[in-house]
Amino acid sequence: MKVVADIIDKDAHREFRRFLDTTNQADWEKKITKINSFPMFRAPSPNAYLKYLGSRNPLTRHIETYLRLEKEGKVFRRHATPELMRTCGYLKVINALFHQSQPSVSPKLKSMLFDDETARAFLFELNIAIHYFRRGYDVEFVDFRDLGTFDLLVSDGKDELEIECKTKSADAGRKITRGNFYLLCDVVIAELAPVTESFAVLFKCDGRLSGSQELFHAVADEIKNCRAAKRESSQVDTLYFEIRNLSSGLQIRNHEEAAVALSPHWSPGGHYLVMSNRETLILGCESSDSDKVLKAIYEDLKRGADQLSKIRPSKLACRIEELEDAWEQLRGDTGLAAMTARLLGSPERNHVNIVVYSSDQTPPRRKDGITSFSATNLSFSNKSSKFPISKSFFGMTAAGGDV
């Protein structure tokens, strides 16, 4: 199929409306209501856990914004953020898929879009497809239409390229998941309020961090006991913690400033949350066990290589979500480069031409009322691939932007 994926501002409202009419607006409203009905922790808790749940499917929060603007009678294009315009690009392709596919495909597509995990993975596929569409290429959604086991088949009219897409959560291979860490922060911050001094609580978890609110409340009580007794450390079950006093009135605006304030106690492998108002509270947590991020990526890409047909040139595209500082570590010689060399060094994977990784997307470009999208990436070519690859496919990154 071919789609002109660029979005003109005046068409954005129409794509949202077509999508909601096709997928049933009432079902999205039920999903939004369910998320908004989760019990909240009392202020000043940031309710980071609920925000995390609400952000797992980007479509949900953007549809909520669209419906709110529509209800308020506001002109959508005047309030559309770049993120909303990116979603419009997705919806334009999704609308075309609904229109051009067999009726039997529609329930499968709708199910993918409503499920938080499959929706994020599918949006990554759309990122890639959109940028090939912009270059006038034909893109077939192979796996989605049960035509094969890989995701996309791209054609420039003469040559073809298979693409298998993998989306790895920032939690993949990690002992401390974002959801459980955010839940820990919500409970502790609510229980410690009001914060009248600046300090940090740095947790070391024995193995994996559970999501037990009972444990987190007990930890909050022990922190308060330590503050009252002027003790600097303690342990509750699997959570050992140390308390570090910070300069009174310290204001911290980002992770870089938090790292400086906590030096030399800051760990690049830890999770951190900063509450900085009149006083600052920093919570950090890491595991006593090593994370296996690279191993998780490696195993998934091995499976991805096996999903390719092995009869034509191919690409493995991997998006690694929200790794923040860890993304720079993975880019090093001992990270993704070494892992990919091992992956491509096997004769069993000599059908793979390119492996491309992407993390944070670059901002959309706006020109003449049109929004277009790209991404920064890290790519590796397989010099031992048994298939020649057309030059027309060079310069195409994991999300389609130019290398």
Q: Is the pLDDT of residue 5 over 80?
A: no
Q: What is the pLDDT of residue 265?
A: 86
- What pLDDT does 291 receive? 80
Whether the pLDDT of residue 323 is over 60: the answer is: no
pLDDT > 90 fraction of the chain, expressed in percent and rounded: 54
Contact residues for 85 (Cβ-Cβ < 8 A; gap 6+)? 7, 9, 12, 364, 371
Secondary structure (3-state) at 151: coil
pLDDT over threshold 60, residue 399: no
Q: What is the model's pLDDT at position 403?
A: 28
Question: CB of 84 within 8 A of CB of 223?
Answer: no
| pLDDT at 10 (0 to 100) | 73
269 vs 288 pLDDT, higher one: 288
Q: Check residues 164 and 402 and name the one with the higher pLDDT.
A: 164
Taking 60 as the threshold, does the pLDDT of residue 158 lie above it? yes
Q: Is the pLDDT of residue 397 over 70?
A: no
203/101: higher pLDDT:
203
Report d(CA 187, CA 184) in Å as an integer.
5
Q: CB burial class (10 A; 0-12, 13-18, 19+) of residue 227?
A: middle
pLDDT surpasses 50 at 95: yes
Q: How far apart are CA 255 and CA 269, in angstroms?
A: 13
Structural element, H or E, at residue 56: none
Q: Which residue has the higher pLDDT, 84 or 347?
A: 347
Q: Are 138 and 76 in contact (CB under 8 A)?
A: no
What pLDDT score does 252 carry? 84
With cut-offs at 50, 70 and 90, classify the pLDDT of residue 85: confident
- E strand or H helix at 181, and its extent? helix 178-192
Q: Is residue 354 within 8 Å of 380, Cβ to Cβ? A: yes
Provide the edge-to-edge strand list for the sheet that holds 370-372.
7-8, 370-372, 365-367
Contact criterion met (CB below 8 Å) for 201 and 243: yes
Which whole number is the average pLDDT over 282-305?
A: 91
> Higher pLDDT residue, 376 or 206?
206
- Which helix (H) or strand (E) is 167 found in, with range? strand 160-168
Q: For residues 291 and 273, what is the distance between their CA atoms, to the nearest angstrom?
A: 19
Q: How far apart, in whole angstroms, are the C-alpha atoms of residue 123 and residue 167? A: 10
% of the chain residues with pLDDT over 70? 89
Pick the closest to residue 312 from 351, 273, 274, 282 (CA basis).
351
Determine the pLDDT at residue 390.
Answer: 86
CA-to-CA distance for 368 and 17, rounded, in angstroms? 23
d(CA 28, CA 47): 22
If you average pLDDT over every residue of the chain, what do you get?
87
Say what the pLDDT of residue 91 is: 93
Q: Which residues of 297-322 are buried (b: 16+ CB within 10 A; e: fewer)?
A: bbebbeebbebbebeebbbbbbbbbe
Other CB atoms closer than 10 Å to residue 53's CB: what's the count?
Answer: 17
**Helical (H) or strand (E) element with 387:** none
pLDDT at 253 exceeding the cut of 70 = yes
Between residues 356 and 173, which one has the greater pLDDT? 356
Least confident window among 143-152, 329-338, 357-366 = 357-366
Q: State the residue for tokens 């999300």.
A: 399
- Per-residue pLDDT averaged across 328-334, rounded? 62
DSSP letters along 291-353, please?
P-HHHHHHHHHHHHHHHS-SSS-EEEEEEE-S-THHHHHHTSIIIIIHHHHHHHTSGGGTT--
| pLDDT, position 325 | 52
Using alpha carbons only, give the angle 223, 228, 233 rounded to the nearest 5 degrees.
45
Between 13-22, 186-195, 249-258, 356-365, the lowest mean confidence (pLDDT) is in: 356-365
> For residue 365, what pLDDT is reported?
63
Q: Are strands 160-168 and 314-320 parallel, antiparallel or unpaired?
A: parallel
Average pLDDT over every residue of 61-85? 89
358-384: per-residue pLDDT in tens? 875 555 666 666 655 556 678 899 999
